[in-house]
Structure 1
């Protein structure tokens, strides 16, 4: 069985979770929306004069802004960075149409939420990572239904598809994990899985992950991905530029049993489109 056939098999068994990175956002984002960690760091640098140690690193830049200007200023800058809504790409829409049990979206835009909202037959909702200080409560995440209303965590069990935004999102209510202090809190306990919602842990246990548009050249992002896919069903799959992988990225893929796929975003979209078409034909033939 080749790799794409293996992925098709996972899809047919509802045993594939998607893990999306900023390259998926970049498909339809305008030129002003940051679509990489470097782009976000540069955006901070245009808004605030940063010390040398914070330049090029969005987490350090955000920490500097939060420490010197206040959290409200940092949130306002993040809102400005993602104020232009990113329309769902065909890839977003294809993923939504598959009704997967779990979608992890690691960037801050709302395109995946919008794509899911377009399917009126789908019962879905979203969990986002949150900043403790912003809500004056000691909890790691919050849940929203398809309309954007905050709902009890018990509601998640009823959802066919769960969208998980571990770093927060501009929509529906501007929650962001972005500064060093945000991540120190989370990473302190992430090994024991406290910041990972139980519903995510339950759904991942029967799934392999397909990483699309992700990069693993940042230690913090690797740490998050490692913990999010913990105790899931290896092997996993990732669209990557194999020739340009760093040593750390290669080690990460090997450690987490992630099979590298040298496919473009268009190729994976074509594959998912063909899978959906064939599935629809099979249903009509029954």
Structure 2
């Protein structure tokens, strides 16, 4: 069944309907009609205790082990990173983030399955680089990765850098079958991190007019919808980026989120963006997508 929650008009697919919808989503992914938008929750598929943080609060905790901050901001990744950047310098923050995300995370079956598809666009919204590793493991040579970068280290007026899978930096124009877009950066190949409040100041001033969004992302989202897996929207920063990346895409949009644990802001965001929730666990969704039948 599909339930519509009256308070915020949020659609939720449950029971047999959720399984049927998952089958249709699989067909849409194979047909390159849907864009996977991957979040840190996918790390739970690799291990109950992932080797790298699997949510912003866990990054904040890891940074707190290196520099104690006020209890008022201790659980806020962006504020903790800003504190370190101001007190210990940007180079220290970048080095600590690279250290925190240095352990390699084995790609899951879902990552590896997505890596075999001729998708036009994949969004990876976390820093661990697992999707990149999965694509490289499949021997793909028709993929480029575009990463968001901090402006703190740049003199040029640029928002992103582009790499091939060997880690070589490319110019802005190479044609590729698949674009892997990491809007917040990634630990590999160059430890690019948008993580502190100041990292986002300039981005957020222009993101509404889409300047920081790469042209190839804008082009490839137009006739497609988004499928959010492993993502939560319980912070305004995450909601802003997801909304702007989805902007001017045709939809429909879907997300794997436990409706019972959603915050009021998450529910409002999904309702406003007409994101339908799939009421299955991430492990059930992953198994259903990679199942060859």
Provide structure 1 residue ranges, at least 5 long, that are not aligned to the other structure: 279-286
175, 181, 193: which one aligns with 1:176: 193
In structure 1, the residue corresponding to 2:65 is in which secondary structure?
helix
More helix by share: 1
Q: Is 1:27 the counterpart of 2:45 in the alignment?
A: yes
Superposition deviation, residue 136 in structure 1: 2.9
Report the Cα distance in structure 2 between the residues aligned to 1:97 and 1:12, rounded to whole angstroms.
Answer: 9
In structure 2, the residue corresponding to 1:17 is in which secondary structure?
strand
In structure 2, the residue corresponding to 1:227 is in which secondary structure?
helix
Aligned residues of 2:109 and 2:290 also touching (Cα < 8 A): no
Q: CA RMSD in A?
A: 1.6
1:89-138 deviations in whole A, cap 9, x for unaligned?
11111111223211111110011101000122451110000011223322
Judged with a 3 Å threshold, the aligned counterparts in structure 2 of structure 1 residues 109 and 122 are, in CA distance, closer, same or farther, namely: same
Structure-1 residue corresponding to 2:11: none
Structure-2 residue corresponding to 1:245: 262
Structure-1 residue corresponding to 2:288: 271
Provide structure 2 residue ranges, at least 5 long, that are not aligned to the other structure: 1-16
1:156-183 deviations in whole A, cap 9, x for unaligned?
xx21111100000000100000000111
Superposition deviation, residue 12 in structure 1: 4.2
56, 60, 63: which one aligns with 1:41: 60
In structure 2, the residue corresponding to 1:41 is in which secondary structure?
helix
| Equivalent residues, number | 274
Report the Cα distance in structure 2 between the residues aligned to 1:253 and 1:92, rounded to whole angstroms.
Answer: 24
TM-score (ref. length: structure 2) = 0.89
Superposition deviation, residue 63 in structure 1: 0.4
Higher RCO (CA 8 Å, separation ≥ 6 residues): 2
1:56-100 deviations in whole A, cap 9, x for unaligned?
001000000001110001001101110111111111111112232
Map 1:135-284 → 2, pairs under 5 A: 135-155=154-174, 158-274=175-291, 277=292
Map 1:64-143 → 2, pairs under 5 A: 64-143=83-162
In structure 1, the residue corresponding to 2:166 is in which secondary structure?
coil
Report the Cα distance in structure 1 between the residues aligned to 2:216 and 2:252, rounded to whole angstroms.
Answer: 21
